[in-house]
Every structure is written in C-alpha cells, then in structure tokens.
Amino acid sequence: MATSPLPETTQQLQSRVDADGTLTLHLAEVPVAPPADDEVVVRVEAAPINPSDMGLLFGGADLSALQASGTPEQPVLTGRVPERALPAMAGRIGKAMPVGNEGGGVVVAAGSSPQAQALLGRTVGVMGGAMYTGYRTVKANACLPLPDGTSSAQAASCFVNPLTSLGMVETMRAEGHTALVHTAAASNLGQMLNRICQKDGVSLVNIVRKPEQAALLREQGATWVCDSSAEDFTQQLIEALSATGATIAFDAIGGGRLASDILAAMETVAVRSQGEYSRYGSTVLKQVYLYGSLDRGPTQLHRSYGMAWNVGGWLLMPFLQKAGRDTAARLRQRVADEITTTFASHYQGTVSLAEALSLRAIGTYGKAATGTKYLINPSA
C-alpha cells in the first residue's frame, strides 16, 4: 500500500574506483523497488555526510585535486585513489557503490506485514546504506519511528553517532571501567557523548585540539576538557585522569601518538596510587579503542606504560551484535525518545544530491572540521 504512486526510478549517488585508481562520482537513475511484505519505501529527505561516508565516497583521494565535469544537474567528479590504498579496495574495484549509511524521511509505501503497515506515513530514521537517493526500499526493522512532529532533518542522524556514543558508555561499564576519555571531543559525536555523560552521571575527559573547542564544550557543561595544543596538555590530562579515574579511552583520530600519550598519562596516575614500585609497571588495565581515522597516518605507540594495556579497534555494528537484541532495542528507544535533545546533531547546511558533488560543498564538508557537517536532501 502506498500513500501516493511511487516513481519508477530515482536518483542515487554512486562512487566507483577502477583498477587504475580512477575515482568517479556521479548520479545514476535506479529503479524504485516495490516493498516486499516486511519492507517499506522511505522518501529520503535528509541524510548526513558523516566521516565514515567520506571513506566510501572518496576512497582516500586527494579532495583538492578532484576534477569536475558534467552539468549542474548531472555533475561528474573524478579523482585518483592513492596506490597504497588500492589493495584494501579489491572488493569494490569497478563497482558503482551507492553511498550514505543513514538518513531520515517519510514512509510512503509499506508491505503487508503489520510491522511495515504500522510505519506508513511516519517519519523515520533509517540505517539502510545507500541513503543518498530519493526513495529507498528497506526492511521495516531498519527504521526507527520517531515521535510525531519530528522533522526528517532531526531524524537524519539517529543511528551512527547516537548509538556509537551510547555504545561507548555501555562498553565502559561492560569492561569494568568507571569513567572515560574521548578525543576530537568537539565533534557532533563528542557533544552528544558530553550530554549523555552529564545526564547519566558518568565522568568524561574531553580531549580537543583548539581553545575554541574547549570553550564550546565548557559552555555545554563539560567539567574536564584538555587541549592538546596547550603547553601543559600532559599536566591537564594527568589531573583530569586522576580526578575521574578514567582508564578507558575512545580515540577518533587514530594516527599519531595521542593514543600512546593517553596510556602514558593513565599509567602515571596508576603508578602514583599503587605506591610500591614494580619494573613491570602498574597492574591497572589501560584501554584505548581507536574508533575513527581522522588522521590516516600510522598509530605510534611509545611504550612507557608497563604491560597492562590494550589498543584495539571499535566499530558500532560488531558492538551491537555482541550487546544483543535487548540492549540494541533499549538504546534505539532512548535515541527515539531524546532525538531532539540529547541526540540532536548540527549541520552547516543542506545540499541537493547534485550540490553534494560540487567542489564548493566538498571544500567545506570534506574537511570534517568542527561544525561543517552537511545534510543531503535527495528530495530537493
């Protein structure tokens, strides 16, 4: 059943990498699939360009060297993926990949199952992949129905950042830690985590790289903010770790030596409280999870923190699978209930599918700088 006739085709943003490293971005016309019994069709009205989408969009190509051609309605962008990045892309070579992890919109057609029917006409957040498109057919259970009055723009970022920031707090508890450290902490995700931690009474150490980012977080009620550009950064960090007892960190940067510096500061605090000297270092387990790659350079570990430490990767989907269905449902419900408060995201602007492929827009959102995130409105 549909609220109005579905179009036969819709525009979809696609990214292709060829074997010689050529990257091509363009808009394709693809069929709109009618919904199966357990599916719905969503008219996508807002989809964020998250850092994780940029990996699939641009394949690590130098954004300043992209070439634009085509027309304003049918833009084509070409670029070059660095040779060292190609082996990891073997699975996508020559394939036109649809992009866009998540988005928000209105359910305009639904299959016959009660779960699908219940969504007809509702505004939903969708974690469907391929969301940079006008109409997207997805399983009903990929949708999060939102309270009446929620706009598609408010629904756009229901999954990636909200569930990741909630997942950090869940992971902290599950692994026996009592406070946490977060880097690139003025990000959309970082501001969300700051709100969650204040609401839930969890101590959070925010690491940022600019004074204005520290001011932003303090204005939003953060107690512990350490600026890595400050001369006394190490002292700031040790003081915050000592006051909070944080022994787990989530690092969005990945490259460079910040993860190592966090472990070293945690060890300084642990050794102080241990009292007795051990040449093997403290017995306090110090954990850093790399969950982003804002710096694509090598992760440098300058081991000066004994042997009780781990550095590992952290991704939302494996976390949700491990946490189980009940936990995932509880977290999703919290996001729906607090979508305009705790889990609100901020965007610099909204662009159409074609405008998202303009060099001007890429010059802004491609930096992944604080406050420069864009929404795509594929229905514009």
Ligand X SMILES: NC(=O)c1ccc[n+]([C@@H]2O[C@H](COP(=O)([O-])OP(=O)(O)OC[C@H]3O[C@@H](n4cnc5c(N)ncnc54)[C@H](OP(=O)(O)O)[C@@H]3O)[C@@H](O)[C@H]2O)c1
Site string for ligand X, 178-207 (x = CB under 6 A): ------x-xxxx------------------
Q: ∠ CA(210), CA(214), CA(217), 5° rounding? A: 140
Options 23, 116, 308, 316; binder of ligand X; rule CB under 6 A: 316
As given in the structure block, the two tokens for residue 49 are 């360009």
Alpha-carbon torsion, ordered 31, 32, 35, 41, to 10 deg? 160
| DSSP letter string, 145-171 | E--TT--HHHHTTSSHHHHHHHHHHHH
Q: How far is the CB of 164 from ligand X (least distance, A)?
A: 4
The gap between the terminal CA atoms of the chain, to the nearest Å, is: 24
Task: Out of 294, 301, 311, 328, name the contact with ligand X by CB under 6 A.
Answer: 294
Residue 352 in contact with ligand X, rule: CB under 6 A = no
Nearer to ligand X, 161 or 342 (CB): 161
Closer to ligand X at the Cβ: 187 or 377? 187
Q: Report, in Å, the least distance between residue 194 CB and ligand X.
A: 12
Nearer to ligand X by Cβ, of 105 and 366: the residue is 366
Q: Does 209 bind ligand X (CB under 6 A)?
A: yes
Q: How far is the CB of 189 from ligand X (least distance, A)?
A: 3
Q: Which residue of this chain has its Cβ atom nearest to ligand X in the complex?
A: 292
**Piece of the chain touching ligand X by CB under 6 A; list 45-53, 92-100, 271-279, 298-306:** 45-53
Q: Of 176 and 211, which CB lies nearer to ligand X in the complex structure?
A: 211
- Residue 183 and residue 209 in contact, taking contact as beta carbons nearer than 8 Å: no
How many angstroms separate the CA atoms of 262 and 277, rounded? Answer: 21
Indicate the residue among 177 and 209 with the shorter CB distance to ligand X.
209
Q: How many residues bind ligand X (CB under 6 A)?
A: 26
> With respect to ligand X, which residue has the nearer C-beta, 11 or 15?
15
Taking the least distance from each CB to ligand X, the nearer of 32 and 168 is: 168
C-alpha to C-alpha distances, 32 to 16, 95, 134, nearest whole angstrom: 21, 20, 9
Which residue in 1, 174, 369, 380 binds ligand X (CB under 6 A)?
Answer: 369
Out of 373, 374, 377, 378, which residue is the one contacting ligand X (CB under 6 A)? 373
CA 163/CA 337 separation, integer angstroms:
13
Look-up of token digits 């992971």: 171
Question: Is 301:290 a contact under the CB 8 Å cutoff?
Answer: no
Q: Is 45 strand, coil or helix?
A: strand
Mark 108-147 with x for binding to ligand X (rule: CB under 6 A) and - for no binding: ----------------------------------------
Binding residues for ligand X restricted to 241-260, rule: CB under 6 A:
252-253
- Report the alpha-carbon distance of residue 308 to residue 263 in Å, rounded: 10
Closest Cα partner for 16 from 49, 75, 57? 57
Binding residue (CB under 6 A) for ligand X from 11, 50, 150, 299:
50
Provide the CB-side half-sphere exposure for 181 (13 A, CA): 33
Q: Residue 122 or residue 182: which is nearer to ligand X going by CB? A: 182
Min. distance of Cβ 37 from ligand X in angstroms?
Answer: 31
Cβ contacts of 237 within 8 Å, gap of 6 or more: 205, 207, 226, 261, 262, 265
Q: Is 296 in the site for ligand X (CB under 6 A)?
A: no
**Binding status of residue 52 toward ligand X by CB under 6 A:** yes
* Cβ-based nearer residue to ligand X, 223 or 364: 364
Nearer to ligand X by C-beta: 229 or 333? 229
DSSP annotation of 271 reads H
Q: Determine the Cα–Cα distance for residues 250 and 185; give it in Å rounded to an integer.
A: 10
Q: Does 101 bind ligand X (CB under 6 A)?
A: no
Surface-to-core class of residue 114, CB atoms within 10 Å of its CB (0-12 exposed, 13-18 middle, 19+ buried)? exposed
* Binding positions for ligand X, rule: CB under 6 A: 50-52, 160-161, 164, 184, 186-189, 209-210, 252-253, 291-292, 294-295, 314-316, 368-370, 373
